[in-house]
């Protein structure tokens, strides 16, 4: 039971870290363009994690045979995921972006079933249905119109499908690699994907915006917390309880984001949003219920 609470706690912490990231991205965009933010956060994250692992003697050397999995892993996250998330958040609010990301659990059971023949329990399905009902209440306005431009929504949905691809590839990575080594390698390879784009499109524009202390702090927090700690917590939890159950926790991101955006950015929280938040949390807990077989 104590191990289960550790796993659930690890997943919960990753959701809180990612919820903050939606606000930090908005703050970072005040001084930097998306590709600059992504490249900087990956460089800082990969360098910091590598240094820590080397000092602790915990870095697991990558085998040549596993390089293909890490290249594919980094292609989905951070490359595709950050491209969709960062450019999408230029068009949608922090809360709406977080709500779209929280739809990952809707597709996770299908992905899990297709690639790994995993079983889907009735509590998984019920939890997903309940949570998505709350998500719908958060993504639509009172008049049932979308709360963001379609282009922004589609870009953030690119991040959703990238996260699903990441989940599938992660299962192919041998279990001898610890979570921190995996994040270090994928972020380092991610730099190679993003650096050419940064040099071509963003580097010439670095002087166009005034660089503020708030924006620099936001980039540092994105690198240390969102690109490092959050991935470590989530990777650890997902490798133990599986894709479907772990991804249901993503439904909690808009809950935390709405609260953080209200606290930091001054966004308003309506009664409809509060009801949606309660429903989302209820669905997450329902999905984690284990039904005992008769006679057990």
What's the pLDDT score for residue 39? 96
Q: Count of alpha carbons within 13 Å of 79, Cβ hemisphere only?
A: 19
pLDDT in tens, 38-73: 999 999 999 999 998 999 898 999 999 999 999 999
User: What number of other Cβ atoms are within 10 A of residue 65's Cβ?
Assistant: 8
Q: Contact at 8 Å (CB) between 26 and 94?
A: yes
Confirm whether 238 is domain-assigned.
yes
pLDDT digit string (tens) for 271-292?
888 888 888 888 877 876 765 5
Instruction: Give a yes or no: residue 212 inside a domain.
Output: yes
Check if the beta carbon of residue 105 is closer than 8 Å to that of residue 251: yes
User: What's the CA gap between 247 and 163, in Å, rounded?
Assistant: 9
Domain span holding position 65:
2-287
- C-alpha span between 271 and 106 (Å, rounded): 25
Question: Helix crossing, 179-197 with 230-241: angle to 10°?
Answer: 130
How many domains is the chain partitioned into structurally?
1
* 293 lies in some domain: no
Assess if residue 7 is contained within a domain: yes
Q: In this structure, is residue 296 part of a structural domain?
A: no
Run of H or E including 197: helix 179-197
Low-confidence residues in the chain, pLDDT < 50: 294-296
Residue 295 covered by a domain: no
Q: What is the pLDDT of residue 7?
A: 85
Contacts of residue 75, defined as CB under 8 A and 6 or more positions apart, other chains included, come to 193
Handedness of CA 22, 28, 32, 35 (dihedral sign): negative
Spatial separation of the C-alpha atoms in residues 192 and 234, rounded to whole Å: 23
Question: Of all residues in the chain, what percent are helix, strand and coil, respectively (each to 5)?
Answer: 80, 0, 20
- Asked whether residue 54 is assigned to any structural domain, the reply reads yes
pTM: 0.85
pLDDT in tens, 224-235: 999 888 878 887
Cβ pair 160, 100 in contact under 8 A = yes
What local confidence, expressed as pLDDT, does residue 296 receive? 40
User: Can you give the pLDDT at residue 294?
Assistant: 46
Residue 66: the pLDDT is 96
Please indicate, yes or no, if residue 251 is contained in any of the structural domains: yes
> Which pLDDT score is estimated for 78?
93
Report the SS3 class of residue 146.
strand
Task: Please tell me the distance from the alpha carbon of residue 261 to that of residue 245, in angstroms, as a whole number.
Answer: 26
pLDDT at 292: 53
């Amino acid at each position: 039971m104590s191990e289960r609470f550790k796993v659930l706690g690890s997943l919960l912490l990753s959701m809180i870290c990612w919820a903050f990231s939606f606000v930090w991205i908005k703050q970072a965009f005040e001084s930097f363009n998306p590709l600059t933010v992504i490249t900087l956060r990956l460089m800082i994250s990969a360098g910091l994690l590598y240094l820590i692992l080397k000092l602790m003697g915990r870095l697991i050397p990558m085998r040549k045979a596993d390089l293909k999995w890490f290249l594919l892993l980094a292609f989905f996250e951070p490359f595709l995921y950050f491209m969709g998330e960062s450019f999408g958040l230029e068009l949608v609010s922090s809360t709406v972006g977080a709500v779209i990301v929280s739809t990952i659990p809707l597709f996770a059971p299908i992905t899990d079933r297709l690639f790994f023949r995993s079983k889907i329990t009735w509590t998984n399905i019920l939890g997903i249905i309940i949570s998505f009902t709350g998500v719908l209440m958060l993504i639509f306005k009172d008049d049932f119109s979308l709360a963001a431009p379609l282009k922004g929504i589609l870009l953030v949905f690119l991040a959703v499908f990238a996260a699903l691809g990441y989940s599938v590839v992660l299962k192919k990575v041998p279990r001898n690699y610890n979570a921190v080594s995996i994040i270090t390698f994928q972020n380092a390879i991610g730099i190679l994907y993003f650096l050419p784009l940064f040099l071509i499109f963003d580097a010439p524009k670095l002087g166009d915006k005034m660089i503020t202390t708030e924006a620099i702090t936001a980039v540092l927090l994105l690198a240390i917390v969102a690109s490092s700690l959050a991935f470590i917590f989530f990777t650890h939890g997902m490798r133990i309880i599986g894709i479907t159950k772990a991804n249901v926790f993503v439904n909690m991101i808009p809950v935390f984001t709405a609260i953080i955006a209200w606290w930091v950015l001054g966004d308003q929280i309506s009664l409809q949003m509060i009801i949606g938040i309660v429903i989302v949390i209820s669905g997450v807990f329902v999905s984690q219920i284990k039904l005992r077989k008769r006679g057990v």
